[in-house]
Chain A
Amino acid sequence: GEDVEQSLFLSVREGDSSVINCTYTDSSSTYLYWYKQEPGAGLQLLTYIFSNMDMKQDQRLTVLLNKKDKHLSLRIADTQTGDSAIYFCAEKGDSSYKLIFGSGTRLLVRP
């Protein structure tokens, strides 16, 4: 079946690194995504990784993929108060037309 799980909440101090974790069950996932949602807003694509990669870096964001354990993580370096939001992990299979989302991790950045 298809299932994506995330921890519900993470609190960090401004300037520290944040690591948000996600596990998924669909071994045919082709793309794995991280979306950000701020209050009252839609979803903003932060970054994504193709399933044949194990790491992707994009400025302050680092995505790690462990395909064997079906584990995905998002590391945000030098976390800022503007990074406070809900972060969703999502996956999509090669022949799939839909995204499967986790329940989201609420990141709170303390000054």
Chain B
Amino acid sequence: GQNIDQPTEMTATEGAIVQINCTYQTSGFNGLFWYQQHAGEAPTFLSYNVLDGLEEKGRFSSFLSRSKGYSYLLLKELQMKDSASYLCAVRDSNYQLIWGAGTKLIIKP
């Protein structure tokens, strides 16, 4: 079967750094996506990784290791507005997105 695992909830402090991990087992691999979703709103695209390594985009970075079936999203200089759910999604060999259940990130002052 296809499976994506990520922690259910994480808590971090404003101004700090947090790493959200994602492990996956899918039928093929055609890229991994990270999305941010605030409660009651639509997901917004954060990053895309298809090759191993780190992709940096401002305060957010995403890392991929295909051999380990592993990715993480790194958020730096956390702000209160970063409180949201973060969804990891893998595109499989049929170009379908397989979604993780999401990690709810709580930022405390």
Mutual binders A and B: no
